[in-house]
Structures are given as C-alpha cells and as structure tokens.
Structure 1
C-alpha cells in the first residue's frame, strides 16, 4: 500500500513538474517597440545617384561615363574602368580615304616656279593606323635670284609609302590628329641652261647649256596632320612635313636644286593641303563617343 502511495506521489510530482516546464516555455515576455524616429536617424542615406536613372556613354578616352537623366550630372564610372585598358572600339577595316593635294597647284597659279600635284590613299585600321600610298607628278623651271643659270626638270613621277597614327583613335573619326612617316622615291631628269660666262678675251657673254642628266633620289618624311569633316564624306586637312634626303644619284654637273615631291634642296620643312573623300567600310552600330 505504501509503495503504491509513493509511486502515485512520484507520478503526481513528475506530472506537476512537466506542467510547470511547459507553462514556462509558453510564457511570452513583452518586447518594447523601438522609437520610429530613432530608426529614421540610424537609417543610412543612399550614396550617389539612383542607378535606375543612369544612362551610359563613352568619352573620347574610351571611359564609361554615367549620365543622371534627372539632374543631368555626368561622372566617370570608375568601377567599370578601374584596372581595365580600353581597346579599339572601331573595327579593323574601318574606312578608305582618298585625297588630292592642292597646295602645289595653287602655289603654281600664284607664281611658284616648281611643283605639281599628287593623289594619295589610306586604309583606316581601327581608326588608329593608316597605311598610306601617294603618287604625284612634278616639274620645275627655276632661275635662282642673283644666279647666272636656269634649272629645268621636266614632268616626273614620285612615289611615297608610309603609315600614320591617329592619337584620337577612339574618338569621332571625322576629326583626327595624326603623326606618321613616309619613304619617297623619284626618278627624274634635269638640265642646266643659260649659264652665262663672261670672258676678258672675247667680248660679250657666252651662253652655255649642260646636257640632260638622269638620276634618282630617295628621301624620308616625318609628318603631322589634322583632318576635319566639312560636309558628308568630304574633309579638309593640313600636313606639315619634315624631310631629309637619304640617297641620290651622282652627277657630273652637281646636285640638283630641286627634287620632285621634295621641293627645293635646303628646305627641310614643307606643307600640304588636301581635299579628302572618306568611304566607310563598316557601318555597324558603335558606342556613342564625344566629338
């Protein structure tokens, strides 16, 4: 009987303890609600503009520029370009340009006693490299001031081959600043006429003419040029050239004072003015760039 009573008491105590534990687990402690003004003070304000209002474009250096369409503000997206080298944005075969050098013809009209005309062409590679070929014809009829002879060179061809580099290759191709180098070669002939000789023995003057001399010459040019589009595919451009003679044939009557395509000997700097027509080779959509 006692054992049953103890068992009953033990079971009753166990049930009571379990009931207290369950009740304690279900007890909910109230939580104090935070002050809304405190949350507003602690909330971080967003840094920078809302990216949903941003548009992208490329600047002249190929950087990604973000434009806020609401405020109009612009800034470079440094996260997009940091550590990234911008390559060529234009295709390999980009354009073909043909030019006519009109400087010498204009100068001949106003009285220059030498010169001719030339045509040239380039192929634009990535709007960056421009292999170039030039062909021209030139002649001279020069009587130097204070000298007693006339130098004549009939119409003769000259050829130039080289390459130019556009430093604004990722900018608008209608506007270029380029530097380059050319090698030129010309076969030509010349005569020296009306050489006036005075003699103490024979009265009067004696005119002497040296026979025609055929020769060749090669020279090197370093160039700097600009190109500006005027209307549609038509552009105008200047070239400043520093040149030096590399080799030339020997002559019994001395060195020629004029070389086709080079100009007068002793003038290391000359210029050219060209009218150009550019034919695009690739019309695919490209990123918009600054002009």
Structure 2
C-alpha cells in the first residue's frame, strides 16, 4: 500500500528535515516516516511559482509580503494526484491512500478525489482535518501501520489501514495561530462562513448577508483558533510576545497530558521567544518547524502556529 500526501505535510525542522528515514544515528527530535509521494500545493508570488523550501522559502515569502507583492495559493490539479497514484502503481502498489490537508481549508481534498477516479487500484482519500505537523503525523501513522509484505493487499489494505488507522489517528486537537495582522488571512477568504475582507454585513437579494468575520475587528497579534479546519475563535491580544505565550498556553491546555508542542513559524529568528513561552507554561521545549509556504501565504510574515504533538512526541 502506498501513501501519498499533499506538500503541506512535508514538514521541515528549523535545523533540518523532520520527515525522513527512521534508521541511522539516534536523534533527540522525532523523525516522521515520509509519504511515498508528495503532490505540490502551488504557492504563487505575482503569479510565478515559489520553488524554494524551508528557510529560503520563508525569506522569499517574507520579502514578498513586505513589498506588497501578490502571494496566492492554488489547489493542485486532479491530474497531479492521478500522476502520483500512477507512479505508485507502477512501483508495485496494490492500493493507495491519499492524505490531504483539511477540506475546509482548501480544495485539495476534492482535487485528490477527482484524481483518484479511474485509478487501476483501490484508492482512499483521507481528509486529515488539519494542516502541517498534524497532517504529517497522520501520514507517519499510516506509513508505519500499513501491512507488511505478504499481508493483506488491494482493497483489504485500504479497509484495514485507511479505514481504521486514519480514523483513530486523525488529528482532533485545535491549532492556535497568531500573526501581526489578519489582513492577509482575510484577503484569502479564510474566515470561513463569515463575510469577506472588510467584514461589513450587507443585505442581498437572497436575504441577510453572513455575519461579519470576527477577524475583521481582531486588531494586531490576535490568537486565532482552528478546529477540524474551521475557524472557531478569535482572541484579541495586541503584542507578539503575549500572543505567542497565549498560543502556547492554549495548546498545552488542549493536550490533556501531552508533554510537547510543535511550533511552526516563518520567523525562525524568534525561536528563543517560543522556547521561553514554553518554559513559562511549564511544558517541555517545543519542536520548532518551518511554517509551510501555503500557511505563510495566508497568515502573512511573522506568523506562529502552535499545536500539541501526538505519538511522535514519545518516539
């Protein structure tokens, strides 16, 4: 059984990859098993594809935001998933599981579903309900739990692994994000279920307009909560240090005993700030990762996303 993921699940530690071979010298940091293939989620700067990753991508994204260039994302084409599935089949896969970021955050899940149609082997498309580290942990679980050679194959793979492990391992803890301004988030339409940027509700011919997004009045450095891909809370804070501390406090409280947090950021110069916030909250030093270009595109420069780690925290 092959596992495919979209590129938001290809996380990278501030000091190097977080997903890679699990053999080799022991490391203090968890090493997540990689998917067999990744499908790129396009990030565009003034219409041109961003090709960098890690620290270089963070620097390019920060410069683009600072200079007012247009930073956008696009869902992958269904054919991109079809091609990835075909390559896995050619390599001998009897079945395929495709893991995507939350369908509430992106059309990537729908593209994967369309790309799986007509595949030569059984394909299950799994909505992770999250993005970034939590999705990468789900990929890790599926890779590690897939049947060994000589075990179940084909449709049995999909039922045994995707149906069971994907459900039990699916991230269920919220993400807590903070950024200097919600302007970029609003412009990208990520205040799901709320009015568009500007936030003013207006009557339409079809009836009352949706309630204005709480993001519109959030002010600088709010703490924004995403739960199962939905924006579920906005807490005005006002300063970077206080907002990061609040994200850490909320994530630690949501973990109910988890000993470690993952912090994804596109401002690696602030690693010490995050570590101090965790120390103040009485939790272990965090795992620090680069924020994916997709999240950077929607949160803007200087953003932090904090979440409780799952089983990888204990490996």
TM-score greater than 0.5 by the shorter chain: no
Could you say which structure has the larger radius of gyration?
1
The alignment's TM-score, normalised by the length of structure 1, stands at: 0.19
TM-score by length of 2: 0.18
More strand by percentage? 1
Higher relative contact order (CA 8 A, sep 6+): 2
